[in-house]
Amino acid sequence: MPRNLAPHLQSVDLRERILDMAESLLANRGFRGLNMQVLSDQVGIAKGTTYLYFANKQAIAVGVVDRIFHRVLHDLSVIAAGPQTPRDRLTTMLSARVMLRHRALSHFGKQLQPVMDAIRPALHRYRQRHRHEEAAIFAGVVEEGCRTSAFFRRLDPMRTALAMLWATDALLPSYLSANELTDLPAIETEAGALSALLTRGLGPIGSAPTIREKSRPKRRGRATSGLIVAALGALSWVGAPAETVAQPEQSRRIMSVDDRFRFVEAGSPLISPDGRWVLYTQTRLDLAENKRRVTTWLSSTQGRVTSSSCCAARVAERRTRGG
């Protein structure tokens, strides 16, 4: 908070008023329609005062998202402290971290995607800085589950929490297209199914909840790419790594979070118009470099040779354009 200002300007109330008006302008006019002078006039302050709180309109937009993020953290903390079992709480929390964000931004309508596109780099940096803050809430529940034998005792609570956040990130507003963002019932269905699937891998199979297909509403139309990515991430979580599957019976063991980090994740599938080719990405985690290695692959749906990297991407581009 800036110093040497009048007490009423130093109050949190003024910052909240700026963000309230900014959120309204973003929802109605989009990022391009957010003007610092108009915003200041609407709040009833000088434009210079607005700059004391926010360096530019991108910082204001990130501030709007930051406020939503901390509201989500509060709600997640309430769920984490509830009376349900650790597994039920985690399942609810994973779904809630997705749906709370969507509902908080639902009034943006068609303006949401342009706003997200404009601040995505800054939003990514923000998410990386604050990811552990959210993961800590999940880690507390995981630790309780390990301590009470509801989950495998060897789980690393924080790494398990981070892995679950990464898996459900694919359903967050910033990862979905404009068309996908409008189908909240479908997103909620996928978030619930994915959350249940993830928590099933934390404890003995006998104690894990099952997903009843009859309770899931019938999906209409083609599955969206963002939801496909989420499903692929979930399957990679509960599946066993190749080296584990190949081991003899006597050396088999419980899957750990370290095994999860060795998985190769497939995502972002793109089918050519003639249906003969599928372009997709493979992501590997490089723990030594603390990076994700992404390669692009082109596969034939008819069992032909698979090519990779940039060359494959260029071939797919020509094919998807009908060339």
Confidence of residue 103 (pLDDT cuts 50, 70, 90): very high
- Model confidence at 238, pLDDT cuts 50, 70, 90, reads very low
The whole-angstrom distance between residue 256's C-alpha and the CA centroid of its chain comes to 22
Instruction: Return the SS3 of 203.
Output: coil
Strand segments, DSSP code E, in the chain are: 265-271, 277-286, 291-300, 307-308
Average pLDDT over residues 55-83: 93
List beta partners, residue 21: none
Q: What single-letter amino acid sits at 148?
A: T
Residue 134: name the closest of 188, 83, 74 by CA: 74
Matching CATH number, 7-54, of 1.10.3470, 2.60.40, 1.10.10, 2.60.120: 1.10.10
The tens digit of pLDDT for each residue in 176-215 reads 877 788 888 999 998 998 898 888 888 754 543 433 333 4
pLDDT tens-digit readout, 301-311: 765 544 444 33
pTM of the model: 0.61
**pLDDT tens per residue, range 153-186:** 888 999 999 988 988 888 888 778 777 888 889 9
| CATH 1.10.10 for the 59-203+225-238 domain, yes or no | no
Q: Which range is least confidently modeled, 58-72, 84-98, 247-261?
A: 247-261
| Main-chain dihedrals φ then ψ at residue 31, nearest 5 degrees | -65, -40
pLDDT at 248 over 60: no
In terms of Cα–Cα distance, which of 216, 122, 220 is closest to 174?
122
CA distance 43 to 46: 9
Give pLDDT, residue 219. 43
The rounded radius of gyration (Å) of the Cα atoms in the chain is 22
Structure confidence at residue 109 (pLDDT) = 84
pLDDT band at 8 (very low <50, low <70, confident <90, very high): very low
Question: pLDDT tens digits, residue range 27-53?
Answer: 999 888 899 999 999 999 999 999 999
Average pLDDT over residues 295-318: 51
**Would you state the pLDDT for residue 205?**
47
Sequence ranges of the chain with CATH classification 1.10.10 = 7-54
DSSP 121-169: HHHHHHHHHHHHHHHHHHHHHHHHHHHTTSS-TT--HHHHHHHHHHHHG
Are residues 233 and 265 in contact, defined by beta-carbon separation less than 8 angstroms? Answer: yes
Taking the chain, what is the end-to-end CA distance rounded to the nearest angstrom?
A: 57
Give the residue range(s) of CATH 1.10.357 domains in the chain.
59-203+225-238
- The pLDDT confidence band at residue 146, using thresholds 50, 70 and 90, is very high
More confident residue, 319 or 267: 267
Confidence of residue 123 (pLDDT cuts 50, 70, 90): confident
